[in-house]
Amino acid sequence: MIIYFQPLHERAPPVDYWLYLTGEDESQYVALARHAEAAGLRGVALADHVAVPVRFGSTHPSGETPFDHRSSFPDPLTFAAAILASTSTLEVMPYVYILPMREPFSVAKQAATLAVLSDGRFRMGVGAGWLFEEIELMGQAVPARGRRMDEMLEIMRAFWMQESVEYHGEFYDFAPAGMAPRPAQPIPIWVGGKSRAALSRAVRQDGWLGMNYDLPEVHALLDTLAELRAEAPPRDDPFEVFVIPNADPSPDLHAALGERGVTSTLAFAWPAGDPNYDSLAAKQKAIDAFAKTFLGR
């Protein structure tokens, strides 16, 4: 199969590209990440699920059932360590890490370790989760998971920035404790979800992670995001906006989204599930073609 892209728009504002690895052959992850780095992509993204129930009634945000209990989901933080140790500029992000399935302490420790290992190239992509049966299987409560997630984020950020942390909240209450090593800079937290609560949570952090939305919905969500950011206290540090439009990828489309404040999207270098791209060599060739068209390399 040959993939045809529209020609590069030379005046397009920069939009960064990330390679999504989940669903591909795990033995190729590190090599694909290294090739993506050489081609000029910003980072790689990895999905997160721990144990998928055989039967569940929860509905994915897309309205579809994209996987089942047989689907492969390697631990994203373990693979993040391997990829970060094998690259020098590439960023790595769970897309997204289901935070309410866990407690904040071990997650903060793992993320800090990855940041130290990589000299700050780890990004903490998080979400509240939609697969309620998995959250309950992990021993966590689904109700109020958004409020609990807010406390988790406060605790994690505090441990990354402070020598000792004391916290008294609705869900977590503990005396002063410390965690080391701490990252040299705070780890950027990008928050997924499309509800107003999720967008508000993203505005309080460092970025928003959108999923696959039709273009009218993309623009409606960007409007809401802009409204919430205008209402929030001003900030000097950059705010990241990651979204995947359900539209044929083109430099012009991405340039238009860049004008709306979008900073990143996925690099669809090959059709998902196409057996013509099973081999590592085929995927590497596809990455090179994508980089030539979208990055002018």
Domains of the chain plus CATH, in order, are 16-294 (3.20.20.30)
Per-residue confidence at 236, pLDDT binned at 50, 70, 90? confident
pLDDT above 80 for 174: yes
pLDDT tens digit string along 251-296? Answer: 999 999 999 999 999 999 999 889 999 999 999 999 999 999 999 8
pLDDT above 90 for 166: yes
Per-residue confidence at 11, pLDDT binned at 50, 70, 90? very low
Is pTM beyond 0.95? Reply is: no
CB atoms < 10 A from the CB of 76, how many? 23
pLDDT above 60 for 6: no
CB atoms < 10 A from the CB of 27, how many? 8
User: Mean pLDDT, the chain, as a whole number?
Assistant: 94
In three state form, how does the secondary structure of the chain look? CCCCCCCCCCCCCCCEEEEECCCCCHHHHHHHHHHHHHHCCCEEEECCCCCCCCCCCCCCCCCCCCCCCCCCCCCHHHHHHHHHHHCCCCEEEECCEEHHHCCHHHHHHHHHHHHHHHCCCECEEEECCCCHHHHHHCCCCCCCHHHHHHHHHHHHHHHHHCCCEEEECCCCEEEEECCCCCCCCCCCEEEECCCHHHHHHHHHCCEEEEEEECHHHHHHHHHHHHHHHHHCCCCCCCCEEEEEECCCCCHHHHHHHHHCCCCEEECCCCCCCCHHHCCHHHHHHHHHHHHHHHCCC
pLDDT above 80 for 2: no
Per-residue confidence at 60, pLDDT binned at 50, 70, 90? confident
183 neighbors 160 (Cβ within 8 angstroms): yes
